[in-house]
Amino acid sequence: MKRNVLRFLLLICCIQLMVACSGEQKEKFATYHAAGDNGSQSTIEKLLNDEKSIEKGTAVFVDDVILVGVQIKPFSKLKRTKIEEGLQKKFEKEFPDKEVLVSTDFKISWETQKLMKKELTEKELKKKIKKLQDLAKEET
């Protein structure tokens, strides 16, 4: 009797473990380009994938502006400015003709994710990005 109960409990635990592990994987990096340039999107995703300390990243392209918001893994937060400067240099090297802003600020990352979900005209998108650029440059 005890063996049957133990086997049953073991079976239930295994099923719960399999169900818990089979959840959807969230997208780690997302890019949005107003013109739909896939080459630039794949380049940005590659640059973000190469950085081991990034947990999640979002990039928004509009005309000559690239806004990249990244979230850093918890143990890398002490090197936050160094990571941000390194990514800024990589993006400026890869896209010399564009204005690039890389931010590790959670607010900027969150706002770029919200921009991707909204259906905005290009003019509204430019206005929002300008506002986020000003917010990122503001020192608190």
pLDDT tens column, 39-65:
777 788 888 888 888 888 888 888 788
Confidence of residue 89 (pLDDT cuts 50, 70, 90): very high
Q: Which distant-in-sequence residues (6+ apart) come within 8 Å of 43 by Cβ?
A: 94
Q: Which distant-in-sequence residues (6+ apart) come within 8 Å of 106 by Cβ?
A: 71
Domains and CATH numbers, the chain: 26-137 (3.30.300)
Tell me, what's the pLDDT at 25?
45
Give the gyration radius of the chain's Cα atoms.
Answer: 20
Average pLDDT over every residue of 8-27: 66
How far does Cα 78 stand from its chain's mean position? Answer: 19
Pick the more confident residue, 1 or 53: 53
pTM of the prediction? 0.70
Confidence of residue 21 (pLDDT cuts 50, 70, 90): low
